[in-house]
Amino acid sequence: MNWLNEVLQNDPDPVETREWIESLKAVIDRDGPERAHLLLEDMVELTRRSGAFLPFSPTTEYVNTIAPALEAKSPGNADLEWRIRSIIRWNAMATVVRANRKPGDLGGHIASFASAATLYDVGFNHFWRAPSDSHPGDLLYIQGHSAPGIYARSLWKAGSARTSSTTSAWKWTAAASRPTRTRG
């Protein structure tokens, strides 16, 4: 318990603090972490009811318990997925620019989709499922401002389904700095 020594160095009553921590450690060892968690929640509730102000902390320190060498490799082709994501972002941006040139309030916010594009990509490619005999399918609610990116993805998927190869469905034209449709 090296961290305990660090905690106790600046504690106004290190003896009492050590007793509390050792007691909680004994509860964890005897009854498990769930019991210790229940006791801590009860103490927080009692402290608040007695009038003390305890600031709320909605986050905790993240500690990865899986060594990087033991992490599962992500399925799929990361380079191809990045390329597709780039094409979809470009098409979403073009959709928004085109829509914003016309009167009305259509178009969405490209930044909303751009900030969530990777999450959508991973969800669509690796987690969310269509209906099948063994699964009812996932129901997604897409936030409205992100719709241009979802539409761009749908259009890309529809276009790539009509070609023989996903990788040849789009060609990246570096000189023009934009994706261009190819026939194939």
Each of the 184 residues of the chain gets a pLDDT tens digit; together they read: 578 888 888 899 999 999 999 999 999 999 999 999 999 989 888 988 898 887 766 666 777 788 888 888 888 888 988 888 888 888 888 877 777 777 766 556 677 777 788 888 888 888 888 899 998 999 888 777 777 778 778 777 777 665 544 333 333 333 333 444 444 4
pLDDT of residue 178: 41
pLDDT of residue 18: 92
Q: Which of 112, 93, 77, 79 is nearest to 152 (CA)?
A: 93
C-beta of residue 84 within 8 angstroms of C-beta of residue 169: no
Q: How far apart are CA 147 and CA 122, in angstroms?
A: 17
Contacts of 180 (CB under 8 A, 6+ apart): 170, 171, 173
C-beta of residue 159 within 8 angstroms of C-beta of residue 102: no
Q: Which of 118, 128, 127, 108 is nearest to 88 (CA)?
A: 118
C-beta of residue 10 within 8 angstroms of C-beta of residue 19: no
